[in-house]
Amino acid sequence: MLLPKGLPYLLCLGFVIGFRPNRESGSLPPGDFTDADITEMGVLRAVASYMEKNPLPGKPPMSPGELENMEPLTATRLFKAYFQADVSPSRFVKAIQEIISGNNLVEADHSKDSSFFFYCEEFTKSINQLRNLRDSVLSGLKGSVSSSTLESARLNTGKVLHILQKFYSNTNWVEMGNSKPYEHLLNPSSRAFPLAPATKDTCKDCRELSTKRYSCDDNLLALDMLTSGYMLTGASCPKKPKGKCGHGGKRDPTQNFPAKGGINKETSDPEQSPHYYLHQRAAELAIQATRDFFVGAGFGFLDEVGKEIFQKFFNLQGYSLTFAIDTTGSMSDDIQQVKTTCIDLLRKYSGSPDAPYNYILVPFNDPDVGPVLKTSSVDEIESYISDLRATGGGDCPEMSLTGLKLALQESLPRSKIFTFTDAGAKDAELRDEIKVLVDSSGSDVNCFLTGYCASRKRRSVPEPAASTRSFANLYEELASYSGGYYALTTKSQLSQILGIMELSLNAAPVKVAHSRLDGTRFSFPVDETLTEISVSVKSLSSAGFTMTVEEPSGVSSTATSVVINTASHKVVKVSPINVQGSWAVVVTPSGSYEVEIGGKSLLDFSYQIMQPQNEYVLPIEGRPVKGSEYTVSIKLMGEASDMEVQRLVALSEATLLMVEGLSPGHFPFSRVNTDPINAESVQIVSLPDQNNTMSPGKSLEVSVAVVNDGATGSFSFNVWDDMGFMKSFSPTTAVLNPGQNITLTANFVAAVESNTFAASIATFTAKSSMAQNYLKMPIIVIPEEALETDETPPIYKLLDFYMPCVGKLQNQPICSQHSWFMRFFAMDGQSTITLRANPNSSGLSCTPQGTESDNNVICQYRSDCCSPYVEIVISDENGNAATIAIDYRRSRPPATAYCRRENTMSVVDLLARNPHCDSG
Ligand SMILES: *[C@@H]1O[C@H](CO)[C@@H](O)[C@H](O)[C@H]1NC(C)=O
Ligand SMILES: *[C@@H]1O[C@H](CO)[C@@H](O)[C@H](O)[C@H]1NC(C)=O
Ligand SMILES: *[C@@H]1O[C@H](CO)[C@@H](O)[C@H](O)[C@H]1NC(C)=O
């Protein structure tokens, strides 16, 4: 049993119903939006909008909102509406999950960096962080992209979205009455909103309801300038100044110090969020901003990367049908057979929603592998296969795993790979790498052997003993690991491939059961969402047997067709399915068998393994560790929402997860997730708050801890990254006792041009004879100039100030016959300045000065004595602002704010002229 006993699990049911990272992190009011919910909904809307504008070939365009405004909008319903067929969204769901993981992991990796949260009025830093991260993601998506580039781009995009979304929960944007996202965050050419100067009071104390509980309905003083809540994060935000807003809520210890309370809208729970009543609006804006991040016209991700990459990023493209074919001399007859058998079938399916997105051919020989040929046309793949020439390959084993590795790398996620060979693998050492590729791609590897000649000569790399279960050879092990088929056929039986290929041509494959049968009868539930099923039975003793498939009434199904029929392995397909309930497969004689039930359905589930980290429950990185406790989060996918999970089962032998429940039609259903959980006894953990950013030409040191949770072992380590930035790492080996850990440190050098953004993903691995694990970590390259932020507000100097509006001159109607004015000079060292007068700009007029005209102005403000007050806001292109506040109203103590805290060069002038200021 690889999973710990009593695996605690948490069922995360239903549809999408800052913001807290996810629902797994603790109880939340049911209608609340988490980071995960916001990300998912924003992505669904963005992809829906993309699909509306880009209908399938031959289909009419859709009207705006047709998909995006679907209620409820789910991945399954979106795919069904777009493809107008049962097409599983599981590959798209996986992409969304990777983005959400990146988003959630900010809480583990960057919790001490306030720029990931818009805390502490760190607007310039947060916006800079956001844009730099985004630019490095975009730079990684230029040209041809590999699956690991895409994975790293998704993780980093999750981080970018985290910053973006926090803007809406942690600043006063919503309180200012905005009903649209703040476009400037993503689009520098869109206007910046003024930021409250350091000197400005932004919040007053909330009313104390009881000890440590506050009512904060009207605590904001800044409603025309941006401010955010202070949340102490150590060095990047060490204190909350008096007069500034807090983040607030019981997680914020400064909520009891002035300004008491806070402004966060992360939840709708008053104890966690002082502005809880605005949670919904903040979440809606965050969803809209997430959507716009991807498809915003002119600045969104889609416009930056183009349609092809957009589709790849979200795994929208369907699956590949990939042939990895041994082209050595002994295979020449077989290649012809493969061609004639398969092509007619592929032709029959072409144009069907079940057809693959593309066909890929990877020839392998010894020592050559490739070139890879890709096409979406059946005719072309036919001619590629015809053109294969069987040659060479003197000795027996071939470079078959190198071929398979290339096939996995070139195929879309969740692809069907068919490997044909008649020889053992010369490159068996690639086995573990292949397994990691299978894990991350979710592809099935089907292996067909038309013979098996192993090494004639002894090789330096021995064929590794197959683990856990006994397999005939490495091919059977890899096929079984990936959930694919393995068959050792005689040349005359090659037609079996046809049946397996037909099973593979399925746009919504699910697994209903996977079990060992000791005896004669195995029952399985068939729910109304299954449109076809396949029943595979393998004798574990290799003895011959017969089997029948029984409907719930006990009669043998007549809708069966034979797919594989060898003495010890039989597969039948049942289609159509006319009756639901408990079906069975009955075998004779009684014995030990492996049974797998597959099918086609849109009812499926995805899972995520999570663990407590900081104060949350966050996705784990790498593989889980034996004996540790985890939370397994389950998400059901389906067309209708009224499904119910009743049980989560870990299928111990195969390390697969199975869910049992009730379908929308109230039939019992079961589904097995085909992504295996591989629990290991070694883990690699990232050390908290590591710096993963470097500048071009500079180096970066990244350390991880390797923890041995198993028996004493001798471990070897490896580190690599996509872009080849890794220069060295140490140590390379170590003996670790049980419970012992060691720090593994790698050095990266950003060998790129000085003005370049780049993104890479580093993989750290640790391996002993008994265990192995990995950790992936994004590495970001940001040019030094881009790291510089302008946080200096404009400066001003008062030139003239005439204020006669005292006493009865403020009374109506006489006040309108008297006026007051001031003249001032304002400038910014870096950028254009914008001026605004509150409450009314009509009395303000400015004239540019000098050559850098817009950076440098002289202004006059004039008003009558009915309005003896004004606040002039002078802001630069980044929103950095200075204010001049004048207030001579009798009903308020005059000019307090400005007298107490102004510290610019005009203070002396102003004090000299203002009789109400107390210069002490
Ligand atoms: C990260 O490291 C780089 C290079 O070593 C350095 O320039 C940068 O300031 C560091 N960033 C942080 C947040 O420590
Ligand atoms: C590594 O071992 C040290 C000393 O035993 C321990 O303090 C530390 O917490 C361990 N680190 C990890 C990541 O397990
Ligand atoms: C702004 O001030 C001008 C001149 O004092 C006045 O005519 C106008 O009505 C004011 N506008 C608003 C919206 O108060």
- How do residues 447-499 score in pLDDT, each as one tens digit? 888 777 765 443 333 344 434 457 778 888 899 888 888 887 766 666 677 78
pTM: predicted TM-score of the whole model, two decimal places: 0.86
CATH fold match for the domains 682-783 and 795-918: yes
**CA–CA dist 449, 346 (Å, integer):** 21
- Interval between CA 743 and ligand 2 midpoint (Å): 9
**CA–CA dist 671, 90 (Å, integer):** 13
Token output for 123:
């607007």
Give the position, in ligand 2's atom list, of the atom nearest the Cα of 705: 13
Crossing angle of helices 332-349 and 496-504, rounded to 10°: 40
Quick check: 150 and 102 in contact, CB under 8 A? no
Fold that domain 509-600 belongs to in CATH: Jelly Rolls (2.60.120)
User: Which tens digit of pLDDT belongs to each residue from 365-379?
Assistant: 877 888 899 998 888
Q: Any idea which architecture 795-918 has in CATH? A: Sandwich (2.60)
3-state SS of 420-483? EEEECECCHHHHHHHHHHHHHHCCEEEEEEEEEECCCCCCCCCCCCCCCCCCCCHHHHHHHHHC
What pLDDT score does 213 carry?
81
**CA–CA dist 373, 359 (Å, integer):** 8
Q: Is 843 in the pocket of ligand 3 (CB under 6 A)?
A: yes
Give the position, in ligand 2's atom list, of the atom nearest the Cα of 685: 13
Q: Which ligand does the CA of 697 lie closest to?
A: 1
Residue ID of nearest Cα to ligand 2 atom 10: 741
User: Mutation test of ligand 3: which of 815, 842, 844 has the most ligand atoms closer than 8 Å to its C-beta?
Assistant: 842
Mean pLDDT within 58-64: 87
Q: What three-state secondary structure class fits 688? A: coil
- Interval between CA 7 and ligand 2 midpoint (Å): 25
Q: What three-state secondary structure class fits 684? A: strand
Q: Please identify, in words, the CATH class of the domain defined by 682-783.
A: mainly beta
What's phi and psi for 641, nearest 5 deg?
-90, -20
Q: Which ligand does the CA of 840 lie closest to?
A: 3
Token output for 878:
């980044």
**CA–CA dist 462, 731 (Å, integer):** 26
User: Mutation test of ligand 1: which of 133, 693, 780 has the most ligand atoms closer than 8 Å to its C-beta?
Assistant: 693
Residue ID of nearest Cα to ligand 3 atom 8: 842
CA dist 201 to 178, 233, 252, 850, Å?
Answer: 21, 21, 20, 34
Between 216 and 448, name the one with better pLDDT: 216
Token output for 267:
């939840």
Between 543 and 906, name the one with better pLDDT: 543
- Interval between CA 762 and ligand 1 midpoint (Å): 17
CA dist 236 to 245, 258, 877, Å?
Answer: 17, 20, 24
Token output for 331:
């295979």
CA dist 46 to 53, 198, 282, 300, Å?
Answer: 11, 37, 18, 10
User: Mutation test of ligand 1: which of 129, 694, 703, 754 has the most ligand atoms closer than 8 Å to its C-beta?
Assistant: 694
Closest CA to 439 of 413, 461, 458: 413
User: Mutation test of ligand 2: which of 628, 741, 743 has the most ligand atoms closer than 8 Å to its C-beta?
Assistant: 741
Total residues found in the chain within this entry: 920
| Paired residues of 837 in beta bridges | 872
**CA–CA dist 127, 757 (Å, integer):** 16
* pLDDT of residue 8 exceeding 50: no
Between 680 and 247, name the one with better pLDDT: 247
**CA–CA dist 835, 794 (Å, integer):** 10
Q: Which amino acid is at 271?
A: E
- Interval between CA 613 and ligand 1 midpoint (Å): 24
- Interval between CA 3 and ligand 2 midpoint (Å): 24
What's phi and psi for 550, nearest 5 deg?
-110, 135
Number of other residues whose CB lies within 10 A of the CB of residue 277: 13
Name the residue ranges covered by the structural domains of the chain. Answer: 2-17+29-181+194-313, 320-504, 509-600, 604-672, 682-783, 795-918
In this structure, of 28-37, 549-558, 706-715, the range with the lowest mean pLDDT score is 28-37
What pLDDT score does 675 carry?
80
What pLDDT score does 909 carry?
37
- Interval between CA 874 and ligand 3 midpoint (Å): 20
Which residues form ligand 1's pocket by a CB distance below 6 Å? 691, 693-695, 698, 700
Strands (E), 18-101: none
Q: What three-state secondary structure class fits 308? A: helix
User: Which tens digit of pLDDT belongs to each residue from 340-354?
Assistant: 777 878 888 888 888
In this structure, of 325-334, 538-547, 894-903, the range with the lowest mean pLDDT score is 894-903
Question: Residue 562 carries which DSSP code?
Answer: E
* pLDDT of residue 711 exceeding 50: yes
Mean pLDDT within 614-633: 83
Q: Which ligand does the CA of 815 lie closest to?
A: 3
Which residues form ligand 2's pocket by a CB distance below 6 Å? 685, 705, 707, 741
Q: What three-state secondary structure class fits 686? A: strand
Question: Residue 60 carries which DSSP code?
Answer: P
- Interval between CA 708 and ligand 2 midpoint (Å): 11
| Paired residues of 650 in beta bridges | 657
Token output for 373:
């040929």
Q: In terms of DSSP bridges, do strands 581-600 and 546-550 run parallel, antiparallel, or are they unpaired? A: antiparallel
How close are the terminal C-alpha atoms of the chain, in Å? 76
Q: Which ligand does the CA of 625 lie closest to?
A: 2
User: Which tens digit of pLDDT belongs to each residue from 222-270?
Assistant: 888 999 999 998 888 899 999 999 999 988 989 999 999 999 999 999 9
What pLDDT score does 118 carry?
95
**CA–CA dist 283, 794 (Å, integer):** 33
The rounded mean pLDDT for the chain is 85
Give the position, in ligand 1's atom list, of the atom nearest the Cα of 701: 5
Closest CA to 65 of 80, 79, 52: 52
Q: Which amino acid is at 626?
A: K
CA 336, 337, 338, 343 torsion-angle sign? positive
Q: Which ligand does the CA of 704 lie closest to?
A: 2
What does CATH list as the number for 320-504? 3.40.50.410
- Interval between CA 839 and ligand 3 midpoint (Å): 9
Q: Is 840 in the pocket of ligand 3 (CB under 6 A)?
A: yes
